[in-house]
Structures are given as C-alpha cells and as structure tokens.
A and B are shown apart, each in its own frame.
Chain A
Amino acid sequence: MALSILGVALGVAVVVGIDLANSSARTAFRLSTETVAGRATHAIVPGSGLLADDTYRNLRADSGLRNAAPVLEGHIRAGSASGPVLQVLGIDPLAEEPFRSYTGGPEGELDLGAFLGPQRTGLISRSTAQGLGIQSGDDLTTFREGKSSSIRILDIIDPDPGFSEASLENLIVVDIATAQALLESPGKLSRIDLILSKEEQGDKIAVLEDVLPPGARIEAASARSSTLDQMTQAFSLNLTAMSLLAMVVGMFLIYNTMTFSVVQRRGLIGRLRGIGVTSSEIFGLILGEAAVVGLIGSAIGMVAGVALGSVLIDLVTRSINDLYFTVRIQDLNITPLGLAKGVLVGLGTTVLAAFAPAREATRTMPSTALRRSEDESRLEARRGLLAGSGLILGILGALVLRTSGESIAFSYVGILFVILATSLWVPFLVDSGSRAVRPLMGRLFGVVGRMAASGIHHSLSRSAVAIAALTVAVAATSGVGIMVDSFRTTVDTWLRYSLEADVYISPPGMVFRRNDATIDTAVEERIRSMEGVSETYSVRTAHVLIDGRMSDLIVTEPRDSDLEPGRYKELPDFDHREAMTARDVVMVSEPYAFRFGTQVGDFLEIATSDGPRPFEVGAIYYDYASDLGVVQMARSRYEFHFDDRQVSGLAVYAADGVDVDDLIDNLTSVTANDQGLLIRSNRSLRQASLDVFDQTFTVTAVLRLLTILVAFIGVLTALMALQLERAREISVLRANGMTPSQVHRMVTTQTGLMGLLSGLLSVPLGLLLAWLLIFVINQRSFGWTLQFEIDLMVLGQAVLLAVIAALLAGWFPGRSMSRMNATEALRFE
C-alpha cells in the first residue's frame, strides 16, 4: 500500500511540478507586462525597432494628446556581466501620473533634478534592493551588451495599488533620458502608453492613426500580455503532456497495487461475502480505499510537486530565456488551481485504475475466495479478446491522430490510445512469448528456466500488467530518447552547414537564440578592416511587424553557399537569391511557414520605416534556431526600407594561411576594451548552440527519469503481488525438494525474463512513439522537418534498462520467497 501511495505521489508530483513551473513562468511574464503597462489601455508601438521620440513630441505638442506617456524599455544586468537581469522601465515622471505611480508626479517626493539626468539615477523596489544588497543612495553597476555603466539608486518604490510587491521584482524605473543613455537608444522610445476611454477609443484611434509614423500602430494593452501564451504555447503544452505520460505509467502502477491489495485480502473479502456483505458494498469498499490511497498519494505528491516545481522552474526559465524572451522568475507561483489539478489527476487516475480490481473483488465468491486459477484461465481465454480490442483501440488512436488536424492536445490523446492499445496486446504477446521461450529457457537454465517461463503465463493477470507498465515506461523513454537524438542530429547537421565562417562575433545578449543586441559601428569597422580577415558577413536581428504580428526579421548578406538546394524546403522557379537583392523578396523559415501557412509566392506585409510594403516569399528554408519562425531579408533591401544600419553579429572568414585561433586572439585584443564581445570559433559556437539545445531538453530528461522510477515501483509491486499469490505454489515446490537457492534463481530468472519481454516489446512501441513525436507532435507543435535517426544504442539501453529494472525489482521478492517457510505456507491446505 505504501508503494502504491508512493506511485500516486510520484505521478502527481510530476504533474504538479510541471504545471507550477509553467504557470509561474506565465505569471511572472504577465506581472512584468502588466506592471509596466500600469493603467494604460492602449499603446502606440513601432512597426519595427523603436519609435522616434519625435512621435511623442508631435502627439503631445502638435496634436495636443493628453494621457500619453513615453516608455523606453530594455534589460540590463546588475552587478556583473553575468549578474541578475533587471528590466529597465524608462519613463517621463511628468507624464506618468495617470499611468503608474512610481515617480509620484511633479509634486511627488522624487528629486526631479537628480532624476531627469544627466546623472543616471533609478528607483527600485525594496526586495530587489535587498536582493542586490544595495540601498537608496548607492551606486549600482550595470552591464549591457558588454559595456558597464552605473546608476545611482535615488529611492525605493512601492507597488501601485492592486499590484503585489512581486510586480516590481527586478524592475528599475529610470527617466527616459537615463534609459536612452543606458540602452544606447538616443532619440528612441519603445512605445507610447495611452489611456483611451471606451467612448473615445474608436474616434481617437482613427485620428491618431493618421498622424502616426509609418509602420507604427495602436495596440490594446491586453494584447501584450497574451504574447507569452502565443509564443510558448507549444513548449508548455509539450511539457504538460510529458508530465501526463508519467501519470499514465503511474496508472498501471495503481492498477497493479489495487489488484495486489484485492488479492492480498481475497480471504478476508471471501469471509465478508460469507457473512452477508453484498458485492456492491465490496465494490464501494475497494473504490473507497482507492480514493483514500489517491488522496494520501496526491497530498504527498503535491508537497513533492512543489519541491520538484522549484527545481523545474529553473530549467523551464532557462529554456524560455534561451528560446523566447527575458523573464526572471523569482518564486514559484503556487496556485490553488494548480494544486487542485494535481489532486484531480491523482484521485481520478487512482479511482479509475482501481475500477477493474474492485470489480474483480465483487466476483469473489465465498467458496472461490482462495482460488485464483479461475481468474487466470479467464484472462488467458480473454487475451485474444484483449488483443482484439487493442487492435480496435489502436485503429481508433490512428484515427484520432489523423483527424486531429493541428491540435497538439488531441495528438497526445491519439498517442495515449496507441499506448493503451499496445498494453492490451501485452497479455497475448507475453503469453505467446513466454510459451515460445520455454524450451529455450529449459535448455539454458534447466527446469528452473522452464518453470520461470511458464510461471509468467500462469500468472498472466499479474505479470502482464507489470510487463505492460514496464514496457510503456521504457518505450516512453526510448521514444523520447530517439526523438531528442533525431532532433539533435538534425540540428547538428544544420549547424554544420549553416556555420561555415571561421569566427562568429556577437555582443553578449539576454536571449541566446534571439539576440538583438548590436555591435558598435566603430568596432564593426575595425573588425572588417582587420588584417587576417578575408571576408565578413553581417547579421541583424530586428523585431518587425509582419502581417500584423511582431516577428523576427533576420537580415543577412547573400553568400554563394546560399545557393545549395539542400538548405531549402521549397524553392521558386526563379533565382530567389538574385531576386532578394533586386526586388522585395524575402525567405521564410520552415516554422514560420508552418505557423502562418505561408507558401512560396505568397506576399507578406512588412512594416518598413516608410510604412507597410508587400514582400514576396521567395523560398522556405530549413531553420532550427527559432520555433517561432523567422523571415530573412537581404541586407541591401533592408537598408533600402529601414532606417537601421546596425548589425547584431558578424561572421568572419580567415584569410588564406591565417590560423583561426590566432585570428580569434587578434580579434579579442582588437575589441577587448570595447564591448566584451563574444568571439567564438565555428566549432565553439556550434557547441554553445548544442549546449542550449541540451539545456532545453534537460526538463525532458528529468521527466524521463521520473517515469522510469514510477515504472520501477510498478514492477516491484507487481512482483510482490506474485510472491504473495505464489506462496503455496512455492511451498509445494519446496516440499518437493526445490532448494531455496533454486527458488531464488527461478524467481530471479522469471523477473529477468519479464524484463526482457518488456524490453523487447518496448522496442517497437518506442520506435512508434518516437515516430509519432517527430512526425506528429513536433510537426504540429513547431513544424520542423527532422531526420528520423534510430540510434541502436538507445534501443539497446532500453532493453537493458528493462531487464535491470526487473531484476532489481525481482531480487527482494525472490529472496523472501526462497526463505519462505514451506510448512507455514501449506498450513492452509
């Protein structure tokens, strides 16, 4: 019973942990956007890059717009170049009053003289100050894009009414002047916050839109908060699905333990029936017991889940920061809803899993209470029927997968069907398998071996469930393993042909994959003209409004190698590279095409500095850097359409005969004092990219491990049930002269065989799962084309894992069986 509670607890812990980590990330992001939005109802946002602050002056001075506040936002690191990330909120205290109350308006306590610059000053919350170990009046050293600066902390701020202290976590409020200096964006704003009443929204927006600069638009404040959900939807959903997988495995375990507990008390139940307890009462009793187990398990699971959540949140945050945007999550956001979900899953699964054992208990007649051969013969007889229903379920699963369209949730339901279908086949396969190997086992291990093999199909109702649980768990791990491997291989191959320059230079940014930090123009010039450098290509990552959505625009300089057809998923019948420099043609990445249904020949409306313009999609190319999808534009077209000459990265080719390591040393010394630029060889950038990849899948690895643990406990309980049931059988064997060591060997051989069967069964299921994950789940989540890479090692490991898990789980029961007192056990007869 303790094991079953442990099983439920583990399952619930995984579900709760993932859910908490996901929701905490979401809450942190919401808070940070809502805090900085304040009471704004709308905002004027740029089509790309930043807004010119002239826009604000024009609105305020020429158009007489009131209730408008300029905002310049960004991120810096506090203390050191790798210190905690602070969100910079640059505002104008004299326009702030209707929006946010941090600066208190012109009559507030704020020392305006110090706040409006040129000295850099800022305001932070009490807890942030404590976290950084500073107080009002201190100077805070900050880092951004490798450059350091210092901000004097003028005062401590309190949250706006209705917001918690947490809303100010890691926020530093500065004047626009300070923000422009700090973020190196003179003359720029991120947005202009507006308060528009319901009545004036329609008219005023129309009037404002007429005077806005090209590309800029008015966006409702609520729209921004939903960004995270849109961006990370697939990411979070897949994590949740993985956590539910642990629960599915846990379900087998619970089924097992509940069956075990029924079997264990068969005598008691028989006697209860004998004294007149009705079968429905027995049914209720068992379900009630399951509910208690479920409740206790869920309670423990919740506590463990919170603990697990705090570990997972770091991993999830790191992934989100690497992949999507900068968010710093301080605390686990424990919500009643998140915990309730855990209880519901735990309790629901337990009761569901206990349904069959409870029904089994009701069939216990007083007279047959001590017999079980009836059950076995029934299951044996039904194994075909089960396999048949498995076939139907499998077909059903396939149908669900086919018809679920783009829905990831339904795809997982389909996968669940497939898993259940496979487990329904297990009794049949185990029965046939164990019969088939009996002669072989006999030859290998003698009588003991033969007996071990027949023991499995003789106790099919127990062994099949244990094997099914182990099979599903192992298949899940190998399936996920193959998927991750395939993914990694694909990314590695892609990195190899994408990263063909010798050295890559980028400013340190906040988000690994979406680095929009820029290299100083002077430094760029110096690098380009350096000795030993033969060619350089620049990359610029810009955030631009494309078809009404903020998307990443990658600006590159065309290279000869771009012509390799292997890089493209879809090409037009004209030379798209030439077209990209000659006219308004862009390429989209595979995930972009997937997300928005873009095809070659379609037109995208891109908000250029002169307003929206149509760009033809010239090609769809493979790209694994962003699951959000990117659009690629040639540098020359970009410079033609955008007032932006900065670069986010440089790819450098070494001149003939120049050693790459020497070149890196030279580059480092040339740029060392400027920006703390990251100068990496092709190899180390690839490694860094793969490290990020691996980091992203750390959560997956943790979940795999937990799933195995749940399965292991499942096997343990199943074998203990066997032990109990086979007490008399063993006693008879012992009475007939079998030695304790022979008994031990037999049990161990049997469990080993069970493990082997599970391992072997897990191979096809694992492959099937991997295939489904790669071609269904990944396709529907991200739209990536991945190579299906079957690593025999992974499959071998899976089989080995199953055998070892089974042997380990069988060792204890085997030992206690061998030590069993034969006469004691036989006394009942």
Chain B
Amino acid sequence: MIRLIPLVLLLLAVGCTQPPDALEMEDALNLAEAMGGDTLGYARAVGPKDFDFPSDFGAHTDFKTEWWYFTGNLRSEDDRRFGYEFTLFRSALRPPDSLASPSDWSTNQLYMGHFSLADPETGTFHAFERFSRGAAGLAGAESPPFKVWLEDWTMESTATDPSSLFPLRLQVAEEEIAIDLTLDAVKPMVLQGERGWDPKGEGNGNASYYFSFTRIRTSGTVTIPYGQYDVEGTSWKDHEWSTSALGDDEVGWDWFALQLDDGREIMFYQLRREDGSQSPFTGGTLVNADGSYRHITRDEMDLRVEGQWESPLSGAVYPSGWTLTLPGEDLTMRVTLVMPNQELNVSVRYFEGAIDVEGSSNGEPITGVGYVELTGYERPTS
C-alpha cells in the first residue's frame, strides 16, 4: 500500500533520528528531494472520484507519486516456500510544465523498481533496486493495454481483451534471481478508504487514491542460483497514487495484507507517530469471501507486537510478531514472519516480509498467509 509516501516519511524519520553516517543522510535527503518536497503544481487527492478503468490502471503523471505493488506467497510442487515483492514506483521530479524538448529523453518522470525474493528454506533474502527515467521507452506505465515496466522488469496484461487487467504477467530477473508469474484475480477489485479515496493525514489533499486486488491466483516459475521451481500461490496487488499523504508527525507504519483460508482478506495499517502512539488515520479493510468489503476503523482493531528482530545490517529493531484482534468479527490472528531477515537494503531501507497467519474465527481455527511492511524503524548504529 503505502509504498512511496513511506519514503518521504522514512526520510523525515531518518532526519530526526540522526543517521548513522553522512552518506545515509545524503541518500535520504536526496530521495526526499526526488520523492517528496513541494506539492505545488501537482494534482491532489482532495476527495472521492469516479475511477475510469481501464485507463486508471495506468499512470497519473500529474500526481507526484504512484506505485504498482505486487506481493505473494508461493509454493513449489515439492512444497518449497517463496515470498516475493515486485513494486514499480513512479515519481514526478517536478510539476508538469509546458516546456518542450526535441528529445524523447526529456522527462519529469522517475521510475524506481524494487524486487525481493524470500527463500525461507535457505534463509536467504534477495533484494534489488532499479531506477530509470520514465521516457525514451526505458520505463513507463500504460493502460489499456496494461503495461508497467522498468527496462526488462515488467508487469503486463496478457488478456485478449485490452481493457482487461487480468490475466497479467510479472517478469523480473536480476543477477541469478528471477520470477516469471501469471496472475489471475479470484475476487473483484477493492476500493480502499472512501470509494478509493484514502486520507492518510491531517489537511486537505493529504490522501491517496487506492485500490487493491486482494486475492490473485498465481502460477509460474521462481529461479534462484540453485535451480528453477514451478510454483503456485496467491498474490496481492495494490495501485495507489497521491501527491502528499502523511502528516508531519507520522514517522512510519506497520502495514498488513492477510489472506485467510476461509476466503477473507484483511488489509490494515497502523501509522505511528514520533512519540510511538498510533495516528488517528490508522485503519483498514475487511474483504469477505463473496468479494463484499467494509472499512475497518482504528478502534475496531487491536494490534499487539510480540517479539523483535534486530537487523544485523542496519541495526534497526523491527517487530517480528503480532496479534491482531477484531473483536467485532470474533477474529484473532497471530502473525509470524516466515523468516526473520526480510529487510530490503536499498536506497531507503525498509522491511517487506512474507508472513504466516494462525488464529481463530468464531472459535474455529484459521490459517493464512500474507505480507507485512514495516517502515521508520531505522536507528543509528553508533
């Protein structure tokens, strides 16, 4: 979900907590420059709008930031487990203007790609990052037909009907790691927040447009240095765009995408403030097995942290287990990481991890899988 806002937020967080060294500070500040900064001249998400699909599957270049986000839990025929994240971010470097250039390379659009693969059997976590300008055919987002790409990292609809998003194909390869997956949605699209308009902070326009596909049947191959695996599993897709979202006092978040085996999905995020308290903009969505969904308010969900994991690389201390309780639904979920180290060591470090769910619903045992995203935990190492 909150993929890019995060970056801005994280930067603020890094700024407050004294970065471990000057280099990191520099990284952070410049990413802030690239991803955050002034909102003047951009479109804002000031209220609910009528979406226009399929064109809204593509890019909204008049907004500052946008991302197409896929995560999934996969299993091979011999029951080997994998988790993946493949996200393409779009960021406007400056407000749209009317200046023209004879060159196709001239642009204000920057694309960033993140690809990670969790391999719990060996405990290895692979993470990669790419950048490119959104011009000269190097990176871009189009719909219809749906295609978002950063060089040879692609998310592309393979449907015969160009207006259809699914089935779609994800192809990512870097070094010796690759995924090639075909995705087909099992359930209809979920408009998050208020009909797809999702306020994230105080102030008019501090919100995003946000919709998800919460259960997507996935099959294909995963390639790791020791072999290639035919896999099947479930993915989750988010598409979100905004110009500004978080309030000044918000330093990070914990975001959950849970796919339960009773056919329900839960999306829930907790925005954390500087003093450690929960922001009032915390909330989520419960999707029923029949595809109907409803908003979950902050007060409905009880979120407890159980256990911690300290990154040996960054020194950041992340929560490593949670219990989420929805008393109204008589639903209790214990969330554990499929492996501890799922921190992306990229230009801005964050945690994007495959998770397992165990719990009970109306007294019946329940299981599930999902993904968690943790930001704003980076602490000075010295």
A residues whose Cβ falls under 8 Å from a Cβ of B: 53-54, 56-57, 60-64, 92, 94-95, 105-109, 111-114, 116-119, 175-178, 180-181, 184, 186-187
Q: B101 within 8 Å of A by Cβ?
A: yes
Q: B303 within 8 Å of A by Cβ?
A: no
**Could you tell me the distance between the alpha carbons of A424 and B101 in the complex, rounded to whole angstroms?**
73
B106 pairs with A94, CB closer than 8 A: no
Partner of A119, one of B99, B110, B136: B99
B151 pairs with A117, CB closer than 8 A: no
Q: B194 within 8 Å of A by Cβ?
A: no
Q: B94 within 8 Å of A by Cβ?
A: yes
Given A108-B30, A112-B34, A116-B93, A180:B102 Cβ within 8 A: yes
B138 pairs with A177, CB closer than 8 A: no
Partner of B99, one of A54, A63, A118: A118
B103 pairs with A114, CB closer than 8 A: no
Q: B100 within 8 Å of A by Cβ?
A: yes
* Interface-centre pick from A111, A112, A186 (highest chain B CB count, 10 A): A112
B132 pairs with A94, CB closer than 8 A: yes
Partner of B94, one of A114, A175, A178: A114
By a CB distance below 8 angstroms, the chain A residues around B152 are: 60-64
B34 pairs with A64, CB closer than 8 A: no
Partner of B138, one of A61, A109, A178, A186: A61
Closest A residue by C-beta to B31: A107
Given A64-B173, A107-B26, A112-B93, A177:B34 Cβ within 8 A: no
By a CB distance below 8 angstroms, the chain A residues around B131 are: 94, 105-106
B104 pairs with A116, CB closer than 8 A: no
By a CB distance below 8 angstroms, the chain A residues around B104 are: 53, 177, 186-187
Closest 9 CB pairs of A and B: A117-B106, A113-B93, A118-B101, A180-B103, A177-B106, A177-B105, A64-B152, A113-B94, A106-B131
Docked complex: B120-162 residues within 8 A CB-CB of A:
131-133, 135-138, 149, 151-152
A177 pairs with B94, CB closer than 8 A: no
B347 pairs with A92, CB closer than 8 A: no
Supply 7 further A-B pairs (C-beta < 8 A) apart from A118-B97, A187-B103.
A53-B105, A92-B133, A116-B133, A116-B135, A118-B100, A176-B136, A177-B106
By a CB distance below 8 angstroms, the chain B residues around A111 are: 33
**Could you tell me the distance between the alpha carbons of A186 and B108 in the complex, rounded to whole angstroms?**
18
By a CB distance below 8 angstroms, the chain A residues around B108 are: 113, 116
B30 pairs with A107, CB closer than 8 A: yes
Q: B330 within 8 Å of A by Cβ?
A: no
By a CB distance below 8 angstroms, the chain A residues around B132 are: 94-95
B residues whose Cβ falls under 8 Å from a Cβ of A: 26-27, 30-31, 33-34, 93-94, 97, 99-108, 110, 112, 131-133, 135-138, 149, 151-152, 173, 347
By a CB distance below 8 angstroms, the chain B residues around A108 are: 30
B106 pairs with A116, CB closer than 8 A: yes
A177 pairs with B26, CB closer than 8 A: no
15 contacts between A and B (CB under 8 A): A94-B132, A106-B112, A107-B30, A113-B34, A116-B93, A116-B135, A117-B106, A177-B103, A177-B105, A177-B107, A178-B103, A184-B102, A186-B104, A187-B103, A187-B104
Partner of B34, one of A57, A106, A181: A106
A61 pairs with B27, CB closer than 8 A: no
By a CB distance below 8 angstroms, the chain A residues around B347 are: 106-107
* Interface-centre pick from A57, A117, A178, A187 (highest chain B CB count, 10 A): A117
B107 pairs with A117, CB closer than 8 A: yes
Given A61-B138, A106-B347, A117:B30 Cβ within 8 A: no
**Could you tell me the distance between the alpha carbons of A164 and B103 in the complex, rounded to whole angstroms?**
32
Closest B residue by C-beta to A107: B27
Partner of A60, one of B93, B105, B112, B151: B151
Partner of B101, one of A54, A57, A94, A117: A117
**Could you tell me the distance between the alpha carbons of A63 and B173 in the complex, rounded to whole angstroms?**
11
By a CB distance below 8 angstroms, the chain B residues around A92 are: 105, 133
**Could you tell me the distance between the alpha carbons of A54 and B132 in the complex, rounded to whole angstroms?**
15
Partner of B137, one of A57, A64, A112, A114: A57
B328 to chain A, nearest CB (A): 45
Closest A residue by C-beta to B109: A116
A382 to chain B, nearest CB (A): 79
Given A106-B131, A108-B30, A112-B93, A60:B138 Cβ within 8 A: yes
By a CB distance below 8 angstroms, the chain A residues around B102 are: 180-181, 184, 186
B4 to chain A, nearest CB (A): 14
B61 to chain A, nearest CB (A): 14
**Could you tell me the distance between the alpha carbons of A187 and B102 in the complex, rounded to whole angstroms?**
9
**Could you tell me the distance between the alpha carbons of A766 and B31 in the complex, rounded to whole angstroms?**
73
A109 pairs with B26, CB closer than 8 A: yes
By a CB distance below 8 angstroms, the chain B residues around A57 are: 136-138
By a CB distance below 8 angstroms, the chain A residues around B136 are: 53, 56-57, 176
A691 to chain B, nearest CB (A): 36
A181 to chain B, nearest CB (A): 5
**Could you tell me the distance between the alpha carbons of A756 and B308 in the complex, rounded to whole angstroms?**
105
Given A60-B151, A61-B138, A112-B93, A118:B106 Cβ within 8 A: yes
By a CB distance below 8 angstroms, the chain A residues around B101 are: 117-118, 177, 181
**Could you tell me the distance between the alpha carbons of A63 and B149 in the complex, rounded to whole angstroms?**
14
Given A61-B152, A63-B152, A118-B100, A109:B105 Cβ within 8 A: no
* Interface-centre pick from A53, A106, A111 (highest chain B CB count, 10 A): A106
A213 to chain B, nearest CB (A): 15
By a CB distance below 8 angstroms, the chain A residues around B135 are: 116, 177
By a CB distance below 8 angstroms, the chain A residues around B34 are: 106, 112-113
Partner of A112, one of B26, B110, B138: B110
A94 pairs with B133, CB closer than 8 A: yes
By a CB distance below 8 angstroms, the chain B residues around A178 are: 103, 106
By a CB distance below 8 angstroms, the chain A residues around B103 are: 117-118, 176-178, 180-181, 186-187
B151 pairs with A64, CB closer than 8 A: yes
By a CB distance below 8 angstroms, the chain A residues around B97 are: 118
Partner of B149, one of A54, A61, A113, A186: A61
